[in-house]
C-alpha cells in the first residue's frame, strides 16, 4: 500500500481486456469502516453516501438484518458451560475484573460465561465515545436501505460466529490478560487508531489490525479477506456495488484491495477531501 494514498475509499473497475474481471459497466467501491459510534469516525459519510447512491447494491461484512434474526444470548458463550473462572488464575481474573468494572461499570461475573474475545470487545467498545446513535456500519446500512438499494453481506452472520468459536481459547486468554496488565497502553493505542481512522491513514490501520490479530491473523484477517474479495467479485459481475468493511481488511499484500487487483480489477484511490 503506497503511503501517499491516504484514503479509505477505493473504486474497483474491470479492465476490459482481462478475461476474469467481468463486471457491471459502472464502477464499484470499497470503503474501509471502523465498527464504532465515535463521531471522529463519521467524517466521510457524505462522500460514501454519494457512492452508495451511484451503485445498485450495498454490502457490509455480513447482512445486519440477518444478524438481528440469528443473534441469541448464548452466541458468544464459552462451550460446555465453561466459565472465565476456569480459564484464568485467581490473580488474573481479579486483574481483568478490575479493568472491566472500571471501564464498563459491570462486574466480570455478569459475563462469566462469555468468551474472552467478547470481554475484549466490550472493553474496547466502552473505551471509545458513543456520540452517534448507531455504529458507522449500521448508519451506512440504514442509509442504503432508505435509498432502496439491494442489501447484502459478504459473509454470513453464522460464518462470523464460527470464526469467533474457532479462535484458540488460549490465545484469547493471553490477549485479555495482556490488555488488563497494560490497560493504559491498550487505551492509548485504541484512541490513536481512531485518530488514524479520522486521518484516513490506511497503512497505520492495517499495521494495527495485524498487531492486534497476532496469533490469530489467518483466522481473523487473511482467510476472511479471501472470502470477502471473492464475494465482492461475484456481486460486481451482476451489479455495481458499494461495500463497507473493516479498514484493517483492505491493506497489505494479503488484503482485499490487493486480492481484487490480482483478480484483474483496476483499483484506484478516491479522495475523501
Whether residue 194 lies inside any domain: the answer is yes
Kindly tell me the sign of the dihedral angle through the C-alpha atoms of 218, 220, 225, 230: positive
Report pLDDT for 142: 97
Kindly tell me the sign of the dihedral angle through the C-alpha atoms of 107, 110, 115, 118: negative
How far apart are the C-alpha atoms of 222 and 128, rounded to whole Å?
26
What DSSP designation does 56 have? S
Report pLDDT for 74: 57
How far apart are the C-alpha atoms of 253 and 60, rounded to whole Å?
22
Q: How confident is the model at residue 158 (pLDDT cuts 50, 70, 90)?
A: confident
Report pLDDT for 212: 84
How far apart are the C-alpha atoms of 176 and 168, rounded to whole Å?
13
Report pLDDT for 215: 82
Is the pLDDT at 17 greater than 90, yes or no? Answer: no
Tens-digit pLDDT profile for residues 85-119: 999 999 999 999 999 999 999 999 999 999 999 99
- Give yes or no for a contact between 124 and 179, defined as CB atoms under 8 angstroms apart: no
Lowest-confidence pick of 28-32, 211-215, 245-249? 211-215
Domain count, the chain: 1
What is the pLDDT averaged over residues 196-202?
94
What is the pLDDT averaged over residues 153-167?
87
Report pLDDT for 160: 84
Q: How confident is the model at residue 258 (pLDDT cuts 50, 70, 90)?
A: very high
Whether residue 2 lies inside any domain: the answer is no
How far apart are the C-alpha atoms of 247 and 200, rounded to whole Å?
9
Is the pLDDT at 2 greater than 50, yes or no? Answer: no
- Give yes or no for a contact between 119 and 84, defined as CB atoms under 8 angstroms apart: yes
* Prediction pTM value: 0.89
Q: Which residue has the cell 490480482?
A: 262
Report pLDDT for 69: 59
- Beta strands, E only, the chain: 9-14, 28-33, 57-62, 150-155, 241-246, 265-270
Taking all residues of the chain, what is their mean pLDDT, rounded to a whole number?
A: 90
Whether residue 3 lies inside any domain: the answer is no
The three cell numbers of residue 65 are: 438484518
Report pLDDT for 166: 87
What is the pLDDT averaged over residues 56-81?
78
Phi, psi dihedrals of residue 220, rounded to the nearest 5°: -85, -30
Whether residue 237 lies inside any domain: the answer is yes
Q: List the end-to-end C-alpha distance of the chain, in Å, as a whole number.
A: 19
Whether residue 4 lies inside any domain: the answer is no
Report pLDDT for 199: 94
How far apart are the C-alpha atoms of 58 and 232, rounded to whole Å?
10
How far apart are the C-alpha atoms of 123 and 99, rounded to whole Å?
8
Count CB neighbours of 205 within 10 A.
Answer: 24
Compute the half-sphere exposure of residue 139: CA atoms within 13 Å on the CB side of its CA.
21
Whether residue 159 lies inside any domain: the answer is yes
Report pLDDT for 192: 93
Q: What is the dihedral of CA 194, 198, 203, 208, to 10 degrees?
A: 0
Domain that holds residue 164: 9-270
Is the pLDDT at 24 greater than 70, yes or no? Answer: no
What DSSP designation does 110 have? G
Report pLDDT for 14: 87
Lowest-confidence pick of 51-55, 89-93, 160-164? 160-164
Report which of 64, 155, 170, 158 is spatially closest to residue 115, judged by C-alpha positions.
170
Report pLDDT for 239: 95
Tens-digit pLDDT profile for residues 116-153: 999 999 999 999 988 899 999 999 999 999 999 999 99
Report pLDDT for 71: 54
Q: Which of 157-161, 163-167, 242-246 has the highest mean pLDDT?
A: 242-246
Q: Which residues contact 237 (CB under 8 A, 6 or more apart)?
A: 22, 23, 24
Amino acid at each position: 500500500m503506497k503511503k501517499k494514498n491516504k484514503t479509505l475509499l477505493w473504486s474497483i473497475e474491470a479492465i476490459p481486456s482481462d478475461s476474469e474481471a467481468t463486471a457491471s459497466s459502472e464502477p464499484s467501491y470499497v470503503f474501509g469502516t471502523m465498527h464504532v459510534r465515535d463521531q471522529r469516525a463519521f467524517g466521510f459519510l457524505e462522500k460514501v453516501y454519494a457512492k452508495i447512491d451511484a451503485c445498485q447494491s450495498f454490502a457490509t461484512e455480513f447482512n445486519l438484518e440477518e444478524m438481528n434474526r440469528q443473534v441469541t444470548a448464548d452466541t458468544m458463550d464459552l462451550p460446555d458451560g465453561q466459565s472465565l473462572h476456569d480459564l484464568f488464575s485467581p490473580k488474573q481474573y481479579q486483574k481483568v475484573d478490575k479493568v472491566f468494572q472500571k471501564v464498563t461499570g459491570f462486574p466480570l461475573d455478569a459475563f462469566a460465561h462469555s468468551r474472552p474475545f467478547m470481554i475484549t470487545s466490550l472493553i474496547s467498545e466502552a473505551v471509545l465515545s458513543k456520540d452517534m446513535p448507531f455504529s458507522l456500519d449500521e448508519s451506512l446500512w440504514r442509509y442504503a436501505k432508505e435509498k432502496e438499494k439491494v442489501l447484502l453481506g459478504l459473509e454470513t452472520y453464522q460464518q462470523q460466529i464460527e470464526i469467533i468459536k474457532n479462535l484458540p481459547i488460549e490465545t484469547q486468554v493471553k490477549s485479555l490478560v495482556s490488555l488488563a496488565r497494560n490497560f493504559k497502553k491498550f487505551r492509548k493505542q485504541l484512541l490513536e487508531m481512531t485518530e488514524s481512522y479520522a486521518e484516513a491513514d490506511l497503512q497505520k490501520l492495517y499495521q494495527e489490525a495485524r498487531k492486534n490479530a497476532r496469533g490469530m491473523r489467518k483466522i481473523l484477517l487473511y482467510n476472511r479477506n479471501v472470502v470477502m474479495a471473492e464475494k465482492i467479485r461475484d456481486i460486481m459481475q451482476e451489479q455495481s456495488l458499494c461495500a463497507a468493511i473493516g479498514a484493517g481488511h483492505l491493506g497489505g499484500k494479503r488484503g482485499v484491495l490487493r486480492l481484487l487487483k490480482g483478480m484483474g480489477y483496476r483499483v484506484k484511490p478516491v479522495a475523501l477531501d
